[in-house]
Amino acid sequence: MRPQELNLIIIFDAIMTEGSISRAANRLSMTQPAVSNAVSRMRSAWKDDLFVKDGRNIKPTLKAINMWEQIKQPINELSSVIKPNDFDPATSTRTFRIAAADIVVQMMMLGLRQEIEKNAPGINVHMMPYTIVNTGQVLDDASVDLVIGSGDPQTGNVRSQHLFHPHFICAMRPGHPLAKSKLTLDEFAKAEHLLVSLSGDVVGVTDEVLAQNGLSRRIAMSVNQFSMVTPLLANSDLICVVPLSAISNGLINGDITGTLPPLDLSPPDATIYWHLRQDKDLGVIWLRQLVHRIIKEAEAKMITESMPKLCGSNKELCAKLTQSVG
């Protein structure tokens, strides 16, 4: 392979990774016209358009996608050998992309920004859309560097690190008829439920467990953001089974209250995911260690501050929360 072709492959990889000519230029410390000129040479050499306009961004052709599937892993391995220690957060100007639900964004973004301003002022962090079903895809496509969520990525190319086990609370307004320390399963099933569904599916873990008990519930409303739970519950007769971290501020402020759901739920753990090709990427290692610490600290703080509002007469719930921070 001629040196010119190797250089084109490096630029091609950057464009595919960034999904943008301008971001690829920044990544490579090149001018945008220089990258555009390289794309013209690629098209001539590889006999394909490679990239077509898609709104303000670009979309790879099928040939470009197939090519990248073959070269991205070898390029990453070569980079880790040639430049194994090329990341310094104090001087880096890298842009990282993270896919996470709004509940995670609320837990980590302020702490992350404060850490970046103090120790990594040139680094950018962009949050991307997340659903529980697209973890493997966005990591395989290099659309993001990290995914923070739950569930099975359905691919062997993904690595993971445990964050915490979520505590599910049955939440409602303080004056709700079911606002008591212990709900019966029948009362729970007959209530009007709010469901948070990031995928749009209106069947959740709770419905699967209810079905095992020969019961079903009415999903009277569903939303795709955890931030909507507290205002909806505080001003309606809906109840909602939701992670404690999604409603802790509402509990602390007295806008809503909560108790244990009357059935045994085993929600998947909150987890950080990244792609195998970035397993030795010092920048991604730095980011995931930082995110892990910030979220763990936020989760512990949230449980500690919520306990006084939940532990009054609910000894079982109090014991579970105490064990988590113990």
- Residue 211 and residue 299 in one domain: no
Q: What is the mean pLDDT of residues 167-185?
A: 89
pLDDT at residue 310, rounded to an integer: 72
In 210-283, the DSSP E strands lie at 218-223, 240-243, 257-259, 270-275
Q: How far apart are CA 275 and CA 137, in angstroms?
A: 10
Q: Which domain CATH number covers 16? A: 1.10.10.10
Q: How far apart are CA 52 and CA 55, in angstroms?
A: 10
Please indicate, yes or no, if residue 38 is contained in any of the structural domains: yes
CA angle 89-93-97, nearest 5°? 90
Q: How far apart are CA 172 and CA 251, in angstroms?
A: 10
- Residue 154 and residue 207 in one domain: no
Please indicate, yes or no, if residue 314 is contained in any of the structural domains: no
Retrieve residue 128's tokens.
């991307």
- Residue 73 and residue 149 in one domain: no
Q: Which domain CATH number covers 179? A: 3.40.190.10
Q: What is the mean pLDDT of residues 165-180?
A: 90
Q: If pLDDT is split at 50, 70 and 90, which confidence band does 116 have?
A: very high
Prediction pTM value: 0.73
pLDDT tens, position by position, 209-234: 999 989 999 999 999 999 999 999 99
Q: Which of 25-39, 75-89, 182-196, 237-251 has the lowest mean pLDDT?
A: 75-89
Please indicate, yes or no, if residue 256 is contained in any of the structural domains: yes
Q: If pLDDT is split at 50, 70 and 90, which confidence band does 2 have?
A: low
- Residue 249 and residue 195 in one domain: yes
pLDDT at residue 79, rounded to an integer: 61
- Residue 278 and residue 130 in one domain: yes
Domain that holds residue 148: 95-165+269-303
Q: Quick check: 80 pLDDT over 60?
A: no
Q: If pLDDT is split at 50, 70 and 90, which confidence band does 273 have?
A: very high
- Residue 74 and residue 204 in one domain: no
Fill in the DSSP letter of residue 275: E
pLDDT tens, position by position, 186-205: 999 999 999 998 878 888 88
Q: Give residue for tokens 């979220």.
A: 295
Q: If pLDDT is split at 50, 70 and 90, which confidence band does 138 have?
A: confident
Please indicate, yes or no, if residue 323 is contained in any of the structural domains: no
Q: How many domains does the chain have?
A: 3
Q: State which of 266, 288, 312 marks the end of a domain.
A: 266
Q: Quick check: 313 pLDDT over 90?
A: no
- Residue 282 and residue 143 in one domain: yes
- Residue 178 and residue 297 in one domain: no
Please indicate, yes or no, if residue 312 is contained in any of the structural domains: no
Retrieve residue 228's tokens.
């909507």
pLDDT at residue 306, rounded to an integer: 81
pLDDT at residue 326, rounded to an integer: 46
- Residue 173 and residue 262 in one domain: yes
Please indicate, yes or no, if residue 200 is contained in any of the structural domains: yes
Instruction: Give the Cβ contact number of residue 207 at 10 Å.
Output: 18
| pLDDT, averaged across the chain | 85
- Residue 58 and residue 122 in one domain: no
Q: If pLDDT is split at 50, 70 and 90, which confidence band does 172 have?
A: very high
- Residues with Cβ within 8 Å of residue 122, at least 6 apart in sequence: 91, 92, 93, 94
